[in-house]
Amino acid sequence: MTVNFKEGWETATLKCVMCKKSEEVQYDPARRKRHIQGEMVQDVWIEATDTYRNQMVGLRSGIYICDDCFPKEEE
């Protein structure tokens, strides 16, 4: 038996404000609602990668910078 853990999820398209590249992201509407209502992204998506959290912040704010354009820390 296969369980579709993304059942009921929605898809949004994010466009990088720098390079204009578009990316699709899937999200759980109930968790997104918590984030929109003020919960911090790291509390709503504890298990998520930094990239996914950045996408969720961009979805909320309307300002998204993709991984290719986001400044990297010096190693």
Domain range list for the chain: 11-61
Given a cut of 80, whether residue 72 has pLDDT beyond it is no
Q: What is the per-residue pLDDT for 2?
A: 58
Cβ contact 24:12 at 8 Å = yes
- 53 burial (CB, 10 Å; 0-12 / 13-18 / 19+) is middle
Give pLDDT tens digits for 19-59.
Answer: 999 999 999 999 999 999 999 999 999 999 999 999 999 99
Length of the chain as a residue count: 75
- What average pLDDT score do residues 52-72 get? 92
